[in-house]
């Protein structure tokens, strides 16, 4: 069994182990540093909003040009990552890819099972499952992605959709699509190793990020990886494609 390109899975029945060595191999994804770095720039800009908007239930509907700008950048990165996953695994379609194509990644990566937590939200920490709508065998639109498209194409009438609530859901979605490719390495945009902590509820975090993340655990035996990377890395083709 070989690892899949830009798709993480548990290794040797260890459902908490998503930091495998093969993830940092350039043949897995030569763009890892660029993609993770782009996310961290976005998260840093997200943090700057805290100086002006309190992350509170009462401010969910707050909207602004700064929030609008961030939503556009985040969803552009989300689409870039989805297209990259599909492309590297040999997915071919006539015409442009769209959200119905990205939905196929849910089957390979269990996106709907990821949970993201925002501890700095008040009065209580906010738990987000940005792909919960995809807990289905048939395509269901993502509300936050629909809102992004609505405000992008018609800001004059839909500017209110550039809200704090939509922003938080969008950035959580980007965080998850990166985690589904790079595991714990999402916290490390510059190094080949990542240090992190795990709380009693299985949320993974680092001090510099406002988000914690919980990885899926509901994998079948056929989906669990079992290989020796020290041997496999010497193969000319150490990765398999996922058939979407």
Q: Is the model's pLDDT at 13 over the cut of 70?
A: no
Residue 58 pLDDT grade (very low, low, confident, very high; cuts 50, 70, 90): very high
Question: What average pLDDT does this structure show over 167-172?
Answer: 98
pLDDT tens, residue by residue, 37-48: 999 999 999 999
Task: For residues 29 and 17, give the distance between their C-alpha atoms in angstroms, rounded to a whole number.
Answer: 19
Q: Report the pLDDT value the prediction gives residue 93, as an integer from 0 to 100.
A: 92
Question: What average pLDDT does this structure show over 82-96?
Answer: 96
Q: Report the pLDDT value the prediction gives residue 190, as an integer from 0 to 100.
A: 75
φ/ψ (deg, to 5) at 33:
-60, -45
- Per cent of the chain over pLDDT 90 is 80
Q: What is the 3-class SS of the chain, one letter each residue?
A: CCCECCECCCECCECCCCCCHHHHCCCCCCCHHHHHHHHHHHHHHHHHHHHCCCCEHHHCCCECHHHHHHHHHHHHHHHHHHHHHHHHCCCCCCCCCCHHHHCHHHHHHCHHHCEEEECCCECCCEEECCCHHHCCCCCCCCHHHHHHHHHHHCHHHHHHHCEHHHHHHHHHHHHHHHHHHHHHHHHCCCCCCCCCEECCCCCEECCCCCEEEECCCCCCHHHCECCCHHHHCCCCCCCECCCC
Q: Which residue has the higher pLDDT, 191 or 155?
A: 155
Question: What average pLDDT does this structure show over 76-105?
Answer: 97
Task: For residues 156 and 111, give the distance between their C-alpha atoms in angstroms, rounded to a whole number.
Answer: 32
Return the C-alpha torsion angle 15, 21, 23, 24, nearest 10: 150
Q: Report the pLDDT value the prediction gives residue 153, as an integer from 0 to 100.
A: 97
Q: Is the model's pLDDT at 17 over the cut of 70?
A: no
Q: Is the model's pLDDT at 79 over the cut of 80?
A: yes
Task: For residues 165 and 221, give the distance between their C-alpha atoms in angstroms, rounded to a whole number.
Answer: 37
pLDDT tens, residue by residue, 188-206: 777 777 778 888 888 998 9
Question: What average pLDDT does this structure show over 97-125?
Answer: 97
Q: Report the pLDDT value the prediction gives residue 11, as an integer from 0 to 100.
A: 85
Q: Is the model's pLDDT at 165 over the cut of 70?
A: yes
The residues, ordered by sequence, that sit 6+ positions from 116 with a Cβ below 8 Å of its Cβ are 127, 128, 129, 130, 172, 175, 176, 211, 212, 213, 214
pLDDT tens, residue by residue, 170-179: 999 999 999 9
Residue 4 pLDDT grade (very low, low, confident, very high; cuts 50, 70, 90): very high
Q: Is the model's pLDDT at 21 over the cut of 90?
A: no
Q: Is the model's pLDDT at 82 over the cut of 70?
A: yes
Q: Is the model's pLDDT at 74 over the cut of 70?
A: yes
CA 207 to chain centre: 19
Tokens for 41, please give them: 């720039």
pTM: 0.95
């Amino acid at each position: 069994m070989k690892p899949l390109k830009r798709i993480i899975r548990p290794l040797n029945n260890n459902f908490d182990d998503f930091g495998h060595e093969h993830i940092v191999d350039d043949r897995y994804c030569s763009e890892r540093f660029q993609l993770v770095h782009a996310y961290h720039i976005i998260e840093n800009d997200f943090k700057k909003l805290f100086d002006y908007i309190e992350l509170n239930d009462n401010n969910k509907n707050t909207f602004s040009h700064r929030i609008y700008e961030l939503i556009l950048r985040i969803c552009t990165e989300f689409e870039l990552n989805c297209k990259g996953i599909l492309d590297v695994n040999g997915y071919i379609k006539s015409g442009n890819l769209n959200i119905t194509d990205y939905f196929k990644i849910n089957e390979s990566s269990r996106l709907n099972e990821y949970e993201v937590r925002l501890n700095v939200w008040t009065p209580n920490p906010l738990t987000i499952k940005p792909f919960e709508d995809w807990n289905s065998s048939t395509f269901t639109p993502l509300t936050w992605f629909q809102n992004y498209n609505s405000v992008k194409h018609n800001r004059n009438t839909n500017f209110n959709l550039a809200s704090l609530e939509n922003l938080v859901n969008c950035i959580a979605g980007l965080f998850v699509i990166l985690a589904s490719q790079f595991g714990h390495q999402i916290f490390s945009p510059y190094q080949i190793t990542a240090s992190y902590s795990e709380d009693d509820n299985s949320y993974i975090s680092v001090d510099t990020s406002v988000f914690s993340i919980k990885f899926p655990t509901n994998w079948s035996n056929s989906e669990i990886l079992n290989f020796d990377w020290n041997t496999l890395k010497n193969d000319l083709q150490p990765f398999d494609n996922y058939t979407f």
